[in-house]
Amino acid sequence: MSAERTDARGALRAAERTGAELRLEGLTVGYGGAPVLRGVDVRVPAGTIVALLGANGAGKTTLLRTVSGLLPAASGRIVFDGVDLAGVSVEDRARAGLAQVPEGRSVVAELTVDENLRLGGLQRFRGRRLTAAVDGIYGMFEPLARRRRAAGHQLSGGERQMLALGRAIIAEPRVLLLDEPSLGLAPRVVAQIMAVLRGLRDERGLTVLLAEQNVTSALAVADHGVVLNLGEVVADRPAEDLRTDSALRHAYLGF
């Protein structure tokens, strides 16, 4: 058992930093009573953006937290770049390149913008390379560059989301999990964030699993859409179909 785990870790570490495939197979989460997720299968091919859609309470956050290891799965497999993540800790998943931007822009309020970014990058870079990586994020999000010394709790909602995203991508992850990045943000900021995601996919081949209630914005960047309802996958279609086919959209997304 422990030997297997070491192997899994080694395989994860050796991999190169391009997008990786993420596969969920028959994932069930929750004990006793009704499980929150029931036998969910989702495939996020390397270098694509998959939108995870569904109403509040459909199980989107649970799914993301299970993938990052914060919640244990009752059954099913989470396969990251061909490696089963069972028994791999949250920290090791992160170090292997599985980055999560949790719901609510969880910027560390007591740390400055600069420190938040360095924290995101220091498992991968040290010293001058870390500073360069931080500067790279500032280049991507100019408003942050002006607030380097500000503490997390002084930032606006948009700035926080930029910081949370910047902190997640600074270590060049292979798969990025995003939980409702558009929540409560101005359309202009949402568009900027979606543009960044598109750019990361196109330039670096980053794999993105994007949980959203804002269906329009999500489908605008996504390659594929997965609809969750009460813990089960009810639709798994190319984003194009969900965007254009109003009957389909009405059936699964209610508009």
Measured CA to CA in angstroms, residue 90 lies from 70, 72, 87, 218 at distances of 6, 10, 9, 26
CA distances from 164 to 49, 148, 156 (A): 18, 14, 12
Stretch that binds another protein, among 112-120, 192-200, 209-217, 244-252 (CB under 8 A): 112-120
Q: Is residue 94 involved in binding another protein (CB under 8 A)?
A: yes
Q: What are phi and psi of 226, to 5 degrees?
A: -120, 125
Residue 119 CB, shortest distance to another protein, in Å, is 5
- Residue 5 to residue 16: CA distance in whole angstroms: 19
Q: What x-and-dash track marks residues 13-52 binding another protein by CB under 8 A?
A: ----------------xxxxx-xx----------------
Of residues 39, 45, 102, 136, which one binds another protein by CB under 8 A? 102
Closest listed residue to residue 200, CA positions, set 48, 34, 37: 48
Task: Considering the complex, state which of residue 18 and residue 106 has its C-beta at the smaller distance from another protein.
Answer: 106
Instruction: Count, in order, helices (H) and strands (E) of the chain.
Output: 11, 10
Build a one-symbol-per-residue string for 125-164: x at contacts with another protein by CB under 8 A, - elsewhere.
-x------------------------x-x-----------
- 221, two tokens: 């960047």
Residue 192 engages another protein in binding (rule: CB under 8 A): no
Tokens 């030997």 -> residue: 3
Q: Which residues bind another protein (CB under 8 A)?
A: 29-33, 35-36, 56-62, 65, 68, 70-72, 90-92, 94-95, 99-100, 102, 106, 108-111, 115, 118-120, 122-123, 126, 151, 153, 167, 171
